[in-house]
Amino acid sequence: MPTNILMPALSPTMEKGNLAKWHVKEGDKVASGDVIAEIETDKATMEVEAVDEGTVGKLLIPEGAQDIAVNAVIAVLVGEGEDAGAVAAHTGEASPQPAKADEPAKAEKAGGDGAGRAEKADAAGPTGNGAARDTSASKPDRVVASPLARRLAKGAGIDLAGVAGSGPRGRIVKADVEAAQKSGGGSASASGAQPASPRAPGSVQAPSDDAILRNFAPDSYELVPHDGMRKTIARRLTQSKLTIPHYYVTTDVELDALLALRQDVNDAAPKTRDGDPAYRVSVNDFVIKALALALRAVPDANVSWTEGAMVRHKVADVGVAVAIPGGLVTPVVRGADAKPLSAIANAMKDFARRARDRKLKPEEYTGGSTAVSNLGMYGVKDFAAVINPPHATILAVGAGEQRAVVREGAVAVATVMSVTLSADHRAVDGAVAAELLRAFKGFVEKPIRMLV
């Protein structure tokens, strides 16, 4: 029987992707591991390899197609002796359309949606290709719905019996529950259960596009469509502010000793064959190292929150916000507490280059327990950053500037930098956040401790 090739989930936050290029054409034979396509996600362009072997019977999605839902059928393989003409019957329609964008099929491991993970694909794949099979479709008395749809409906007090399903075989999916919520459809449950969501403020609907645009003269603006990255940033950070109780702790740190040590470290860098320094350490590299060491010194801050348990991390993995055209990405420096400054510097240089080219791998920008967001190079004195789940903290770094300080009763001039720690109050109490900042300050103001 023909085998469906599905739009893969190439990152934890991916719900839709663009099909940038096919590397095969209809009639080509492919083997497991062959590169068959290039997919653009919200953060990178990645090659997709075939999982099964066979002959390409039909390419259902053309090159350049955008916003293809995860787990939508994009092509079909036929086996030896099978007729490519059977493809249409196998897929159920002559010209299959991508699944709805609100029916993501992969778990959002990095805190992607408010329920903890997106629903699985509902299409039954006869070849065991990872699609979920609904075995209850033959039971007419049972409401057929995805687990995520059930959780959302329960939280909103919606009776699924009054919701029409748009998924395969009438299955109710996330988009159906959301539509019922917006329209007021779906009666309250018979038990009189009320919405269980603790996020009542989050239920307020934002103004519609039309309501916003009515404020401006028609010829006074242009509309720039959101790309996948911008949509992902908007969704995840909105969820962060709605679901994470942020609070903020700020301190000032003196940089003069660090700046002097940085100069010595860079002056001592060996030369490559081309005569260039083997590394060049930045102030931000010292910040990453200091925060990692502070997490090791204050393990109660090196955590992530889940509803069932506190995740206490055994390593200090630090994400670093990198600005790229159209948005930002947060690659993670693994084991930053144990890495020398030169290794952190070279890793960040490589991350920044590949982030701009959208060539980072998903495992390079997922995970970690904290992050650094540095706007000091733009002259920003201080700011508060939004926590990026599953992190419990994020450190916002301002510019180093000369300020008057008092030492032993006398006024002196020092290079001072303000830093603000945003913390998740569910996971990190105020005293713990203060300890973390104090440890960070100690490493920055006595930076030789980072070298031993």
> Which residues are part of the catalytic machinery?
425
Q: Which two tokens stand for residue 348?
A: 């960040």
**Contact indicator for 278, 269 with CB cutoff of 8 Å:** yes
**Contact indicator for 328, 314 with CB cutoff of 8 Å:** no
Q: Which two tokens stand for residue 278?
A: 């083997």
Q: Which two tokens stand for residue 232?
A: 């992902």
Q: How far apart are CA 228 and CA 243, in angstroms?
A: 22
Q: Any residues with CB less than 8 A from the CB of 397 and at least 6 apart, and which? A: 284, 287, 372, 373, 374, 375, 376, 417, 419
Q: How far apart are CA 418 and CA 79, in angstroms?
A: 63
**Contact indicator for 320, 331 with CB cutoff of 8 Å:** yes
Among 121, 443, 90, which Cα is nearest to 253's? Answer: 443
Q: How far apart are CA 40 and CA 65, in angstroms?
A: 10
Q: Any residues with CB less than 8 A from the CB of 181 and at least 6 apart, and which? A: 152, 156, 158
Phi-psi region of 377 (alpha: psi -120 to 50; beta: other; left: phi over 0): alpha
Cis amide bond preceding 96, omega within 30: no
CA atoms within 13 A on the CB side of 286: 29
Q: How far apart are CA 283 and CA 400, in angstroms?
A: 10
**Contact indicator for 232, 358 with CB cutoff of 8 Å:** no
**Contact indicator for 287, 395 with CB cutoff of 8 Å:** yes
**If you search the block for the tokens 């969820």, which residue do you land on?**
239
CA atoms within 13 A on the CB side of 291: 31
**Contact indicator for 87, 60 with CB cutoff of 8 Å:** no
Sequence-ordered alpha helix ranges (H) in 357-429:
none
